Structure 1
Amino acid sequence: MRGRRFEDDRRASTKKSSVQPKQKRIASLQQMALTNNPRPSVALDAPCIHNLNSSSRFYLDYFNVRICKLFILCDSDNNPFRHLLTYAMDDVPLQKCIIAVSARHFTNTGQSFDQTHIDMAPRFVVANLDALHFKRQTIQAVTRALNGHEISRKDTLLASIFLLIFLDLLESGIDGWNHHICGARGLVNLGSSLLDSSHDQATKGDMKHQPGDMVTETRVFISRQLNLISTLGEALSGSQSRSEEFPNFDGEIKHESIVRSFLGCPELLLRAIRYFSSQRDFLGDLNSQTNDSINDHIRDTMLMLDMTRNFDCQQWASRVIALTASEIEIQNFFLLANAYKSAALIYGTRIFRAFASPVNTPISIQGTENETLVSELILKIQLLAPDEIFFKCLIWPTFIAGLECQTENTRESITALLRGLWNFTSCLNVINASRILQEYWQKQDSSDDLEKAHQEIEVMGQGWLLI
């Protein structure tokens, strides 16, 4: 029926203009949607691709050109997202998931930051239907595989779950992602270890085209990104979504978590954010705690704030350049690390302020200090805004800065940055971040100090994945 509806729309358009042949229409869409086309993935030359219809081939090509560079800091021939295309040639659920992600992103490009519910052109309406159709098929296939305990396919299943999280970012970034994280956690536990190579390498159907280092690197990449996602997602979620870290396999790939991450946030800062986030569980049960226990948590939080404040971004940036031999300016890596450092400090001080010690333990974080942090963070983000490679990584820091904005000028700056991020990413979680902040600012402006303190914790427990 979808095909018939498409034909009906096309016939209706002939009243005003002639209709191009289907192949020309696909080529026209490609020319419009695919810019700066890199060298095609080897997977796209596979014979099985030629058996797919033109729409599916377009979405796979779209993934290769647009999506692979969107969700990673530094694009390269060794981009792990392009490796997933190779694995998808023999795994239908992963292939459908890739198509769903591409179709959703293509649909989003037909919307604007201010008007996400406007009537879309027919090509985007069709893409929206494709995204829903292939997402449904992917979830059904993954569910069947998990219920059937198909351990032999755990790598490609985990990759599908991984991409479903990115699909959620494109759709909203609210709530759905944490269910996928739980599914990934269950799959890892089911298989005992992501690196159980003795079993996996003997399994014919599991990522068989690129055995050895390629499979290992992809597993490491996915596990690290899932850990990063759970860390930043849980920082804005309730305690029910809290989980332990995913296995972090350092092995021989020391620089992967920096350059092959889609955010590039330094590991120490991620651990600081995870620690501050975990303190919210303690804050939720503060009335039942003893004074000594509260004071211990205050002291530990202060120590973590000091460790974060003393993190050397310049040294980190220099190490990144040394490890990767990248030609990208060290200044951009420095600004990126600094942005996450400032965001982690702002997030930590919000947690710190929430401690209401019954023995009146002095809390030294002053409003002016956080105002300075916000101003500095906004400046760092603005300096990176012209560079799409780094700017697209800064949704979370931008949102955290927005939570502390007190003046109309700073709020307008945050909104402008979010608008720019939408233009680069076409992820609907960016628009939702703006909407959440607008509602939060209105509440803050009309609330007294006690209500504001409650809202500070409440806004960090809503289940948002804003990355």
Structure 2
Amino acid sequence: MDEQFEFSPSPCWTCRRKRLKCDGRLPTCFKCKTHGRECLGYSANKPLVWTGPASRGKMATLNSRKRETEPADRRQQSTSLVPLVAKTLTDPIFQDLSPRSKQYLSYYVHRQFLVMIPDNPALAHSILAISAIHQAQEIKCISNNNNLSKAITFNESSPDYMNVANDRNNDVRSSTQYTDALVHSSSCITALRNALDNAPDAFGALIASVLLLIWVDMLDSGTTVWKHHIDGLRVLVSLQRSARVRNANSRVRATSILQTWFEETFSILSLFGSAFSPNLSKLLDIFPPAELVEILGRTESHSWTGCPADLLSTLRFFSAFSPDNPQNDLPRIFTQLQQFHTIEWAKKSPLPESIPTRRSLGEAWKGAIEIYGRRVVGGIHPEFQEVSSDLVGTTLFHLMQIDYNDTHFKGTIWPAFVVGAEVQTPQQRQVILEVFQHLDETLHMSTIHLAVAQLRRIWTRETPYPPGSSWVHDIWERGDGLLIV
């Protein structure tokens, strides 16, 4: 007698992420099973799979292909996340959690963070907070998937630019999930204070907790809360580095990979945070200059931004620019930036079919960083102030070459914002708005709405900027602070 199967009318989330045709078999699709992949199921809410920085950029596709070539026993390890979560939920720290909170914890899948949860209530609450706010944004997106497209329709006469962010946030905040996220964020902060008061000897769980709080803020409001978290993160990373120097035992060495990832992630968040909040530029002073260059170089393989390592170092130079220090290297910096070979960089991709897209991504970053650099230093060095229409047009052209469904598209937020601040015609501005609309449909981050709000304000400005000033300086002076990454 033939075995009878039940089927889902919609594809599983694993096949959706990989853009594969799903057979819909319940409880898990046969395609995932035969390829040794973890099937994320068919739930109405998209599961949050926190895979770290390699979920974007060139490593995302490489890691996916690498997993498919791994031995079956290695691939099978992913299925152990289910009992890992179940075992974690039996820890005494979670016995008072409500069923909904336990669902949040099961929704969040990250092996390295989950194993640190026992005896670390701060990390537990941060995971619950990120899971809850992610679900809140998912529900909002499903219920009104045209929200951003309505909000960002270019209206040159609209002065109330902040409504772009506020309208959506008000809707999200009415949800049960948002309330849960707020409660667990507060509980996380309390637990962090208690942990620090007790002189911890291991900082990994605390650093992970603060990292998640930063992402909670980017998903929720993206305003100024992340600044306080990232400053706390600087302290924790510094303490962890000191502890690593003092202790050379096997336990420290065993966790060095995760510690390295923490330093890289902190560096990226600090770098892009300081781009529009110059008072944060000293965050990275905890690293010696040579070591910082090395860290930024490593992030190219792990970072979700998709920015070439050499260009990250150039961005760091501009973001830390100070008129109080002599800048004799400016001609060399701009020449080096303009001579960066994006084609050669793209050819280093392990996936030949991605070379054209990677070249366009590299060009978008290259153009955006030159635009940013010129706007930053132009007030002190007028010879570098001009931003030509050719530079804007070329950068915008390469940005448009990246398909919205391509993995690399997630790395276009910062370049899109910078070149968007320079475009002049309604047609160009509509292109930028469409880019952000698709980014919002993919990422559901409130910082995207704040970026659009800033662009609308820049576009509707009636008076020119004072001599030596620009839209970058205006953002600095307003103190809005944008963590666009």
Q: Is the TM-score greater than 0.5?
A: yes
Give the match's secondary structure for 2:460.
Answer: helix
TM-aligned CA deviation for residue 194 of structure 1: 6.5
* 1:421 aligned residue: 439
- The partner residue of 1:48 within 79, 87, 109 is 87
* 2:55 aligned residue: none
Q: Unaligned stretches of 5+ in structure 1?
A: 1-28, 65-80, 204-210, 286-292, 358-362
**Number of residue pairs the alignment of both structures matches:** 385
- The reply on whether 1:308 has 2:337 as its aligned counterpart is yes
* 1:11 aligned residue: none
TM-aligned CA deviation for residue 195 of structure 1: 3.9
CA 1:447 to 1:41, structure 2 compared with 1: closer, same or farther past 3 Å? farther
Specify the code of the residue in structure 2 equivalent to 1:354: G
Taking the TM superposition and a 5 Å limit, the aligned residue runs for 1:24-423 are 31-34=43-46, 42-46=80-84, 47-51=86-90, 53-64=98-109, 82-109=111-138, 110-111=140-141, 112-113=147-148, 114=151, 115-117=167-169, 119=171, 125-150=175-200, 152-193=201-242, 195-196=244-245, 198=247, 201-202=250-251, 212=254, 215-239=255-279, 242-245=282-285, 247=287, 256-279=298-321, 281-282=322-323, 296-297=326-327, 299-321=328-350, 326=351, 329-355=354-380, 363=383, 366-367=386-387, 369=388, 371-423=389-441
Give the structure-2-normalised TM-score.
Answer: 0.71
CA 1:333 to 1:255, structure 2 compared with 1: closer, same or farther past 3 Å? farther
Specify the code of the residue in structure 1 equivalent to 2:333: M
TM-aligned CA deviation for residue 423 of structure 1: 0.6
Give the match's secondary structure for 1:193.
Answer: helix
Q: State, as a whole percentage, how many aligned pairs show the same letter.
A: 24
TM-aligned CA deviation for residue 401 of structure 1: 0.8
CA 1:31 to 1:310, structure 2 compared with 1: closer, same or farther past 3 Å? same
* 1:432 aligned residue: 450
Cα pair 1:43 1:86 within 8 Å, conserved: no
Cα pair 2:346 2:359 within 8 Å, conserved: yes
Give the match's secondary structure for 1:243.
Answer: helix
Q: Distance in 1 between matches of 2:80 and 2:296?
A: 27
TM-aligned CA deviation for residue 240 of structure 1: 5.4
Q: Distance in 2 between matches of 1:255 and 1:270?
A: 8
* 2:27 aligned residue: none
Q: Distance in 2 between matches of 1:201 and 1:347?
A: 44
Q: CA RMSD in A?
A: 3.3
Q: Unaligned stretches of 5+ in structure 2?
A: 1-40, 50-63, 65-75, 142-146, 152-166
Q: Distance in 1 between matches of 2:82 and 2:242?
A: 31
